[in-house]
Amino acid sequence: MSFRASVLTLYPEMFPGPLGLSLSGRALERGDWTLETVQIRAFGEGRHRSVDDTPSGGGAGMVLRADVLAAAIDHASSPDDPRPRLLMSPRGRPLDQRRVRQLAEGPGAVIVCGRFEGVDERVIEARGLQEVSIGDYILSGGEIAATVLLDAVIRLLPGVMGNAESGVTESFEAGLLEHPHYTRPAEWEGRGIPPVLTSGDHGAVERWRRAEAERITAERRPDLLASGRS
């Protein structure tokens, strides 16, 4: 069974976007995964299909209504749907490679793209939305974040990457950033390839790569080492 993605958004024209190209695009054409977009405004209230209202208690911006979003979620996902329901949100748990791999091993995901000032908390609770963040910054909406999440997941689906080993030797897979890479020419602008990589000694190559991964991680992301992920 292919990975099923349902994306709830006010801007369905943003999809598939980059997901229709390269690895994910070819996988979409093959049916390795499917994409459904649901226009939240189709479930809006009144003549103008209103989807938001002013925040209770006052304040700036508008809030996506619980009744409208719940109707869109119920349309996209039945109670017995095994797919997790995700809300792209800056206050969510940070997306990491472990979570990406878990999603890739599952049946798919229902992804809600927020807009405005936020989403009524009651629909998050009532529909079991799991909030997911892609970083400590604010975007105009959840669509770009949803694209990032799907790109990370789809490339790990069986058959999407030509070399399956690529998915297990990358940054974060072993709790470390990835080691440096080199290829021809052997000499470029006075810079050579480290001799160990052309020595033919596979054990030495693996030890060098591990040492370089640890060095780079210590320099750039010491938090990964501190967390004990390596």
Looking at the fold, whether 149 and 210 belong to one and the same domain comes out as: no
- Indicate which CATH number applies to the domain containing 176: 1.10.1270.20
Query: Is residue 131 one of the residues assigned to a domain?
Result: yes
Q: What is the residue-level pLDDT of the chain in tens, covering all 230 positions?
A: 899 999 999 999 999 999 999 999 999 999 999 999 999 999 999 999 999 999 999 999 999 999 999 999 999 999 999 999 999 999 999 999 999 999 999 999 999 999 988 999 999 999 999 999 999 999 999 999 999 999 999 999 999 997 665 555 566 777 899 999 999 999 999 999 999 999 999 999 999 999 999 999 999 999 999 876 54
N-terminal to C-terminal alpha carbon distance within the chain? 33
Looking at the fold, whether 113 and 204 belong to one and the same domain comes out as: no
Looking at the fold, whether 176 and 120 belong to one and the same domain comes out as: no
Looking at the fold, whether 98 and 46 belong to one and the same domain comes out as: yes
Looking at the fold, whether 67 and 107 belong to one and the same domain comes out as: yes
Q: CA 68 to CA 97: how far, in whole Å?
A: 32
When divided into structural domains, the chain yields a total of 2
- The model's pTM is 0.90
Q: Which two tokens stand for residue 223?
A: 């938090």
Query: Is residue 162 one of the residues assigned to a domain?
Result: no
Q: CA 139 to CA 190: how far, in whole Å?
A: 42
Query: What is the span of the domain harbouring residue 130?
Result: 3-154
Q: Note whether 92 and 131 are within 8 A (CB).
A: yes
Query: Is residue 150 one of the residues assigned to a domain?
Result: yes
Neighbours of 27 (CB within 10 A): 21
Query: Is residue 206 one of the residues assigned to a domain?
Result: yes
- Last residue of some domain: 122, 154, 186? 154
Query: Is residue 163 one of the residues assigned to a domain?
Result: no
